[in-house]
Amino acid sequence: MTIPTSLLPAVELETGPSPTRAVLWLHGLGADGHDFVPIVDELALPSTLSIRFVFPHAPMRPVSINRGMVMRAWHDYDMIDPNVGVQENLESLRSSQRAIEALIDRETERGIKPENVVLAGFSQGGALALHTGLRHSERLAGILALSGYLPAPRTLAAEAHRANFATPVFMAHGRLDSVVPLVLAATSKQQLLESGYAVDWHEYPMAHTVCREEIDDISRWLNRVLE
């Protein structure tokens, strides 16, 4: 199933009739919306939760960190140094932010309130989930960022919306990640904690991927925020 072409194209999967909850799951750099579809079965969520999973496809764009190669990407960026951070193209980042907010609005039109929507993502998708979720003007059920980081950290204080100040945030990262270094994610986590956000932080002995223990932790967290 796909959503209207006026919005980002996406893969959709519903775990039951007339969904009352939604999870918008954003893929990583160079992947597409199909990448995380198999995780729905692996999460083994209870049948009592009728959830619409939406897996949008990022636009095609040149990406500086990959020498301008055109691929699916939520925004253009380049790495400066793991200890300094990432240099994002803010115009493309904010364009994708608006596109994700349009998908949240679409769920509202379909009868699912923002307070029952989780914004999730992996890698660059996790970065966009944090960026968009913390700035969204209506409270969300939760924000899930896997192997990602907080983009545009210097603008958060001015742009964050109080509606999601108390929203649960799940961050998970591999200690062996060489794509998005652990130090970058840990710095993001620390900034969020110091800003007063409730961050549920997890580390795993893995690289830039997802492991079984992590999936089990995600399942328990989703059960809690979507109950």
Instruction: Give the residue among 88, 58, 86 at the shortest CA–CA distance from 72.
Output: 58
Active site residue 50: no
Nearest-angstrom CA–CA distance, 99 and 49: 26
208 is catalytic: yes
- Whether 95 is catalytic: no
What CA–CA distance (Å, rounded) separates 31 from 46?
28
CA dist 227 and 217 (Å) reads 15
CA dihedral 99, 216, 200, 48 (to 10 degrees): 70
Catalytic residue among 96, 123, 147, 188: 123
Separation CA 53–CA 19 (nearest Å): 10
**Of these residues, 161, 195, 208, 217, which one is catalytic?**
208
3-class state of residue 158 by DSSP: helix
CB contact at 8 A, 122 and 36 = yes
Give, in order, the Cα–Cα distances in Å from 217 to each of 135, 208, 214: 25, 17, 5
The catalytically annotated residue of 57, 76, 131, 177 is 177
Which positions are catalytic? 123, 177, 208
